[in-house]
Chains A and B, each alone.
Chain A
């Protein structure tokens, strides 16, 4: 049973470009969460999605960031017009039921903005 998959593992972008981060949840999981981890800091919640629905986006920056989890395919975290401060590790997690169930994390995407 494959775990949570994320790609790419490493992504380099120049300021002003777009970054697309993909997450495939564990088989049988329909709840996806995105977290951001800045260097030497803890994980910060960004957004919680179920298939085709955003349940909680209270941790998402108001501008440039968006997330989706379509009926088919992976969840996508999209960052438009990246800035240096967006450089971080972005982790996706999934759970079978809602957040009261254990969340399993993917390996993360390390975004570097030059």
Chain B
């Protein structure tokens, strides 16, 4: 079966750095995606990792370790608008995205 775990909620301060972890146990693995979803809106694409290592894109970075079944999303210089849910999703041999339940991040002043 497929199992993707993320913390349910996190709180951080404006200007700080926050790391959102994601662990997965899936049958087959072809890549891992991170999406951001503001309340009542569509998920928007943040990053895609296939190989081990760190992918950096502006204030956001994503890391993958395939051997450990582990990824994290790193957000730097947090802004109030970063308050949202962050969704970890894995592409498996089923040819579909399997999503975790998402991590709700609250950025405080």
Contacts and interface: CB of A to CB of B under 8 A. Distances in A.
Interface of A: 4, 33, 35, 41-45, 48, 55-56, 58-59, 91, 93, 98-100, 102-108
A58 B42 CA distance: 23
B45 A99 contact: no
Task: Report the 3 A-B pairs with minimum CB-CB distance, sorted nearest first.
Answer: A42-B101, A105-B42, A45-B96
Contacts of B101: 41-42
Contacts of A43: 43, 87, 89, 97, 99
B30 interface: yes
B100 A48 contact: no
B96 A33 contact: yes
Interface string B12-53: 000000000000000000110101000001111100100000
Given A43-B87, A100-B91, A102-B33, A58 B96 contact: yes
15 contacts: A4-B42, A33-B97, A42-B102, A43-B87, A45-B97, A48-B96, A56-B94, A56-B95, A58-B94, A58-B96, A91-B43, A98-B95, A105-B35, A107-B42, A108-B41
Contacts of B102: 42
